[in-house]
Amino acid sequence: MLKRMLYRYSTDSNGKMRKTATIYTNSEHSIKLKNIDNDALRIVYQLHDYGYQAYIVGGAVRDLLLNKKPKDFDIVTDATPTQIKRIFRNSRIIGKRFRLVHVFFDQKIFEVSTFRSILNGSVGNIFGTIEEDSQRRDFSLNALYYDPIKEQIFDYVGAMQDIKNKKLVPIIPLERIFAEDPVRMIRAVKYSSTTGFKMSVKLKRKIKKSALLLLQVSASRLTEEFFKIINSGFAYKIILTSFDLNLLEYIQPNAYKMMKKDKIFKQNYLNSMKKLDELVINNTTRLGEKLNFVIQDFVDTLDDWESVKNQKSINVSEIYKNVWSECRSFVLPMNPQRTELEFAVKLALKNNGIVMKNRNKINKPKV
């Protein structure tokens, strides 16, 4: 006996009913309530109690379907930021152009956003319906809405089939998706690398052709995206694919130039990304230690460190000052916190036998 599918309907401009979403029940998907953060559930339940729609959306739903533990649980609702703020005292409204709400539970932060309209494309800030909101999501794997009360998934874009087929499918037309937000190219590579989903030849070609658009992106956004890469546990795959699609030229321009020019440096750098992934998967460590994997191969090229450390007298402070300046330029346009980059530089020097004792004194390092 064939199972009867459930659908959500809405009326079109002529008042006719049309099918807008496929509904998957708890017997048709693999999401278990026990795998959802209790505080995320509390937010959804409370919004419902006040008469609003509320769903867990995006990456959390995707990860739960792929049997991965979500890092974040984002929530979407038809309540406005002001209405959300009135319900949750432990919250604040953030953003100037795109306003949303952060709800706090101890050290955890949950992002609660209002359905957005497609009236001004995929980057406008006009409130809309859940159907419109689904059309603004970048890729179909991020456009599923999970209702933990009914334990149902609402699929407006055929995402469940794309996930089943392991395909990364853009929702926004290719002629607009990267022009409206170039960072989506980085996310495409990240999603493909972390899920194993395939990008079509057409999508790859469009990314390669549009890579130059990343010049429009602020250093702060590029820094944020790069930090996500080095914290992902998939930095090797993401960096390698970014190199092949020319994105790395704008994410890490200096590393890209050296990788293009020197095959040995390229291999060493990619090997460092593999080591970084092993560290991230097995440990929780500070950012500076992760940044060390980004700069270490570059620092290795700056001098003959074996000869330097065997000199009778060396000015460690001067060496540090020069190397820090070189590394600061090397990581541009990324702008990491100074203390973390300093930690990474000191570690890179230590790995080459140059040990910082006191920046204000001249010291002979231990050999």
Which tokens sit at 331?
Answer: 């990581």
- pLDDT of amino acid 14: 67
CB 153 within 8 A of CB 146: yes
Query: Pick the catalytic residue: 78, 133, 138, 181?
Result: 138
CB 15 within 8 A of CB 25: no
Closest to 36 measured CA to CA, from 53, 15, 56: 56
162: annotated active-site residue: no
- pLDDT of amino acid 120: 73
- pLDDT of amino acid 296: 98
CB 257 within 8 A of CB 233: no
H or E segment to which residue 87 belongs:
helix 81-87
Predicted TM-score (pTM) above 0.85: yes
74: annotated active-site residue: yes
- pLDDT of amino acid 269: 98
Question: Cα angle at 339 between 333 and 345, to 5 degrees?
Answer: 75
For the beta carbon of residue 281, count every other beta carbon within 10 angstroms: 10
- pLDDT of amino acid 68: 94
In angstroms, the CA 87 to CA 285 distance is 36
72: annotated active-site residue: yes
* Tens place of pLDDT per residue across the chain (367 aa): 345 678 887 766 666 777 889 999 999 998 999 999 999 999 999 999 999 999 999 999 999 999 999 999 999 999 999 999 999 999 999 987 789 999 999 999 999 999 999 887 667 778 999 999 999 999 999 999 999 999 999 999 999 999 999 999 999 999 999 999 999 999 999 999 999 999 999 999 999 999 999 999 999 999 999 999 999 999 999 999 999 999 999 999 999 999 999 999 999 999 999 999 999 988 778 999 999 999 999 999 999 999 998 887 889 999 999 999 999 999 999 999 999 999 999 999 999 999 977 543 434 444 3
In angstroms, the CA 299 to CA 296 distance is 5
Query: Pick the catalytic residue: 74, 78, 155, 277?
Result: 74
- pLDDT of amino acid 313: 84
Which tokens sit at 263?
Answer: 């095959």
